[in-house]
Amino acid sequence: MKCGMLFEIDNTGQSAVRGVNQDGVPIIDAKSLTYNDFFQNFMVANVPCIIKGIGNTWESSRDWVKDGRPNYDYLMQKYGSYHVTVYNCLERYYNTQKPTQMDFRRYLSYLRESSKNATKLDYLKNWHLKLTDENDKFYEVPVYFASDWLNEYYVTCASHLKDDYRFVYMGPNNSWTPFHADVFMSYSWSVNIMGRKRWILFPPGKENLLKDNLGNLPYDVTTSSLLHHGHELIQEQNEAIFVPSGWHHQVYNIGDTISINHNWVNGCNIDNMYAALLAELANVEKEIADCKEMDDFEQHCQLMLKVSCGMDFYMFYDFLKCICMKRIEMLASSSARRMFHGHEIGSNHILFDLNAVSNTLGAFVQCDTVKNLDYFKTVDVKPPELLEQILLSTKKNSLKK
């Protein structure tokens, strides 16, 4: 995909998308898929798909892969000293796999000989390589995934946190990720620049069929007799998979595999993110219900919420404010609409984003927790004031076909 494209929407609704299906999941060629088609048929509808022809022109596809194998010499020379987290796929650690920190060169040495070592199955996951060097252009964000509030926030408004949701994954044949749904009920996309993946996807709600008597989800869904309730598909090299909000999934690598992945949130699923935070807060409050009469109970719950899922209500509001203020500035000026990844947002999309923030913020200001926390009474721009700014800005504009 060429970097620096316009991503825009209209209000004509869904349109027919031509492609084939694999166990009910559409497979579409990028050449025949517009951004608006993807937006309406997949993001808004919360439906998974595979997009063919993604990543084949990326620097990583050219430089990281040689003769169908990792280009070990190049990777060792360029990234060998970087620190990575590697997961032992043979050892369960709570509901994930046991992690180990190591230098990338050590992992490459293992991967090179992994086919000869049946006693280890190690998978490099969640490598924040782009965060380490923003100038490393080893991939481009496909335009379909350009509306990415979460990484926009971390890159442009919260760079001091030194965090993001942009990852590199690298693993040998049969390395895998246990059954889970993505953080914050976010979307995720993944592109294989080498190798293939087997995906098992369950639509929202179907995962409940898999719970045991204690309400726990399985660690490995392939052990369940209810596997037929999900979708199984193979993602090939240079294909992108879109995993919608709330879809539980389990993933296996077929052969040595390298992929580039994002988790992301935008106006189509921000309400799901807020619902996930509310649900986690309810779990926290239930866990320490016996301390409800303590001073600063709500504040303590926010601390626990931040530890539990990586975000509290303060950060969530800052996130909404960041996106909101940027979109208001964009509406006021036809310039400065190029995003952190190089793509340019259209006017209708800006309005859609503001309306989505407004809807979520409207629910946020009515939340009892928000009303009780002193922070929201003293913050420089209070939530009701921000909501008013959005309404004034959007009132001057309307969606265009």
- Whether the pLDDT of residue 16 is over 90: the answer is no
pLDDT for position 14: 66
- Fold topology of 6-264: Jelly Rolls (2.60.120)
Query: In the predicted model, is pLDDT for residue 79 greater than 60?
Result: yes
Q: Are 250 and 200 in contact (CB under 8 A)?
A: yes
Distance CA 5, CA 221 (A): 39
> In sequence order, which residues have a C-beta less than 8 Å from that of residue 203 and are 6 or more positions away?
247
Q: Which helix (H) or strand (E) holds 37?
A: helix 35-38
Model confidence pLDDT, tens digit, residues 179-228: 999 999 999 999 999 999 999 999 999 999 999 999 999 999 998 888 98
Average pLDDT over residues 124-151: 98
Is the model's pTM score more than 0.85? yes
**What pLDDT was estimated at residue 400?**
47
Q: What is the mean pLDDT of residues 44-71?
A: 97
Contacts of 127 (CB under 8 A, 6+ apart): 82, 84, 85, 167, 168, 169, 170
> CA 224 to CA 96: how far, in whole Å?
18
Domain ranges within the chain, ordered by starting residue: 6-264, 270-395
- Distances from the Cα of 37 to the Cαs of 11, 13, 14, 55, 76, in angstroms? 11, 9, 7, 20, 40
Q: What is the mean pLDDT of residues 40-67?
A: 97
What would the pLDDT profile of 278-332 be if each residue is shown by its tens digit?
999 999 999 999 988 888 999 999 999 999 999 999 999 999 999 999 999 999 8
Place of tokens 């409050």: 285
Q: How far is CA 363 from CA 275, 325, 367, in A?
A: 10, 19, 7
Q: How far from chain centre, in Å, is Cα 310? A: 14
Burial string for 83-99 (b: 16+ CB within 10 Å, else e) reads ebebbbbeeeeeeebee
Query: Hey, what amino acid is at 179?
Result: F
d(CA 16, CA 336): 33
